[in-house]
Amino acid sequence: DGVLPEAVGRQIEPLMTKDLDAARDLAAALGVPTPLADVVRTQARRTLQLDAEPAPVPAPAKDDVHAYGLHMMDRVYGPGLSTAVQDADDPFSAETVDYLFAQVWGREGLSVRDRRLLTLGVAATVGKPELVQIITHGALVNGELSADQLREAVLHLAVYTGWCKATATHTGVTAAIHAHTAQPPTPQEQK
């Protein structure tokens, strides 16, 4: 029936996106527009039929602050992150779940994507690539920002945070993009 088995699609996706990214980079270097490659790259998961996720589990009620915080944590950074802290009984972990995720990230008024961009800006001012990588990973997993948009964000932030801190931001963004596409960063990109 033409349906691609999910396991095969998951094996093909990193190779497909790596090759499309390489073709797009070469075309950009040569000044050649690649609208078809751009569309195919943004629709790779859909093309490989990997977007057919199971029906989402409804969010817990907001008055169950801890359960809602765990839900928001997974919504912000991808499924499974909450398992690392769901049974933690220290005050910092509890406040991270109950306050930061349930009451701040879970508020109306700004989307998760908007809050992520603000958080990325703050992380860029700190200059910690590992923090930037975590934030960027969430944007990629959730499909909120493309690799090209994240690269553009690094350039924009460089003007406001300084080139040295932007270098750390670039390192974190590049690492997240490569991890998301299963492609190791080149030594030049790690600089």
pLDDT of residue 28: 82
Domain ranges of the chain: 6-47, 57-108, 111-191
Does the pLDDT at position 1 exceed 50?
Answer: no
In the chain, the percentage of residues whose pLDDT exceeds 70 is 89
Does the pLDDT at position 4 exceed 60?
Answer: no
DSSP-derived secondary structure letter, 82 = G
* Count of alpha carbons within 13 angstroms of residue 39, beta-carbon side: 3
Can you tell me the distance from the alpha carbon of 97 to that of 105, in angstroms, rounded to the nearest whole number?
Answer: 10
pLDDT tens per residue across span 130-163: 999 999 999 998 899 999 999 999 999 999 999 9
Q: Which positions ≥6 away from 22 have C-beta within 8 Å? A: none
pTM for the model stands at 0.64
pLDDT tens per residue across span 43-72: 777 777 776 555 556 788 889 999 999 999
